[in-house]
């Protein structure tokens, strides 16, 4: 009888932890929408987006076909990969600006694309 009570308590506590695990994962995911020129990167399924301010983003997607939009200006929305490293880079960049050391520092990151829309069938250069 005592074992059944302990097992029931363990099962109930485990079920209570499952929503907490899922919500922290969603909370830590940063979503971005970016517009720029899409080009092919070095890896097999890797693409690069260069924004108007010169920032570069490495794009990946398992659900959105990026290849038909090479050389196009596109708007992509997706989840920032390695957001903790991206935030650290942003803090350094902000500190450089504060000390007037920002000599054209641009944003760089990794994005898993969830949607894409074409803005133009060419890129402005």
The tokens for 4 are: 């059944």
- Over pLDDT 70: what percentage of the chain? 57
CA–CA separation, 84 and 28 (whole Å): 9
Q: φ, ψ for residue 88 (rounded to 5)?
A: -65, -40
pTM reported for the whole predicted model: 0.62
CA–CA separation, 35 and 77 (whole Å): 9
Domain 30-120, CATH among 2.40.50.500, 3.40.50.12160, 3.40.50.880, 3.40.50.150: 2.40.50.500
pLDDT tens for 46-72 read: 999 999 899 999 999 999 999 999 999
Q: How far is CA 78 from the centre of its chain?
A: 6
């Amino acid at each position: 009888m005592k074992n059944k009570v302990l097992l029931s308590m363990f099962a109930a506590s485990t079920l209570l932890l499952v929503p907490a695990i899922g919500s922290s994962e969603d909370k830590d995911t940063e979503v971005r929408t970016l517009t720029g020129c899409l080009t092919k990167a070095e890896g097999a399924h890797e693409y690069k987006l260069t924004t108007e301010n010169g920032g570069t983003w490495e794009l990946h997607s398992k659900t959105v076909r990026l290849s038909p939009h090479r050389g196009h200006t596109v708007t992509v929305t997706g989840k920032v990969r390695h957001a903790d490293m991206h935030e650290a880079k942003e803090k350094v960049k902000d500190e450089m600006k504060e000390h007037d050391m920002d000599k054209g520092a641009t944003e760089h990151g990794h994005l898993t694309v969830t949607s894409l829309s074409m803005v133009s069938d060419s890129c402005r250069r």
